[in-house]
Amino acid sequence: MAEELERFDAEGLRTIDDSVAMAEDLVCNHYKMSAAQWLRLRYDIRTLADLAGDEIVHGPFAQVIRYEGKPRGTQLGSATYDFYKICLQDHAILDALRAFPELALGSFSLYVIAHELIHIVRFCRFLQHFNASADERMAEEARVHARTRQILGRLALPGAEAVLDFYDRWMEPMDRLPESPL
């Protein structure tokens, strides 16, 4: 299935790589995490070329999947840990860029990646359960979008305003959900 879907080209992958670096810095700084604390988060970010079939979805621009990790050679269950994988959906992102020409890959992917990193920080800090109810997942989406907007709204980044406007329109029906203290 991944063979048929549109993927980022070499230039797009460089833009995604830049967005990952910037999103990591922004989210780490927002949550006032030290470098050591940030490095304890166990996650990876992959594009369509590196996703398994069950990691590919249609609709969302990305998804976070939680896996159970264990150090090599370890037999005991006490050594297991949560490992999160951010699965970027190249095809959905590229479709959105075509449908909304005011969006640019750099600022749009920065929003998407920062949003997913915020989810991971919240899971790791036990601010949100990974396996929440559908209603709680929707409330969490609203909280994470608000946090992403708060972080990116301070930037003087070309194209950021168009991305924030895009997500403001997406969030309109959810504006009455309760806000989280974080």
Q: Tell me: the pLDDT tens digits for 46-69?
A: 999 999 999 999 989 999 999 988
**Residue 153 lies inside a defined structural domain of this protein:** yes
How buried is 128 (Cβ within 10 angstroms: 0-12 exposed, 13-18 middle, 19+ buried)?
buried
> If we measure between CA atoms, which residue out of 53, 44, 58, 64 comes closest to residue 137?
64
Q: Which of 124-128, 167-171, 175-179 has the lowest mean pLDDT?
A: 175-179
**Residue 5 lies inside a defined structural domain of this protein:** no
Strand order in the sheet with 43-46: 43-46, 81-88, 62-69
> If we measure between CA atoms, which residue out of 151, 149, 142, 136 comes closest to residue 175?
142
Would you place residue 22 in the very low, low, confident or very high pLDDT band (cuts 50, 70, 90)?
A: very high
**Residue 1 lies inside a defined structural domain of this protein:** no
- pLDDT of res. 171: 61
- Average pLDDT of 20-24? 97
How far apart, in whole angstroms, are the C-alpha atoms of residue 169 and residue 91? Answer: 21
Could you tell me which residues come within 8 angstroms of residue 164 by beta carbon, excluding any fewer than 6 positions away?
Answer: 111, 149, 152, 153
Q: Contact 19/152 with Cβ under 8 angstroms?
A: no
> If we measure between CA atoms, which residue out of 106, 94, 102 comes closest to residue 16?
106
- pLDDT of res. 172: 56
**Residue 3 lies inside a defined structural domain of this protein:** no
**Residue 46 lies inside a defined structural domain of this protein:** yes
Would you say residue 100 has pLDDT above 70? yes
> If we measure between CA atoms, which residue out of 11, 26, 64 comes closest to residue 152?
26
Would you place residue 2 in the very low, low, confident or very high pLDDT band (cuts 50, 70, 90)?
A: low
Q: Report the SS3 class of residue 43.
A: strand
**Tally of domains in the chain:** 1
**Residue 15 lies inside a defined structural domain of this protein:** yes
**Residue 159 lies inside a defined structural domain of this protein:** yes
Could you tell me which residues come within 8 angstroms of residue 94 by beta carbon, excluding any fewer than 6 positions away?
Answer: 6, 8, 12
Q: Contact 149/179 with Cβ under 8 angstroms?
A: no
How far apart, in whole angstroms, are the C-alpha atoms of residue 125 and residue 134? Answer: 20
- pLDDT of res. 181: 39
**Residue 94 lies inside a defined structural domain of this protein:** yes
Domain span at 166:
10-174
- pLDDT of res. 131: 78
- Reported pTM: 0.87
Return the structure tokens found at 6.
Answer: 């549109």
- Average pLDDT of 120-141? 85
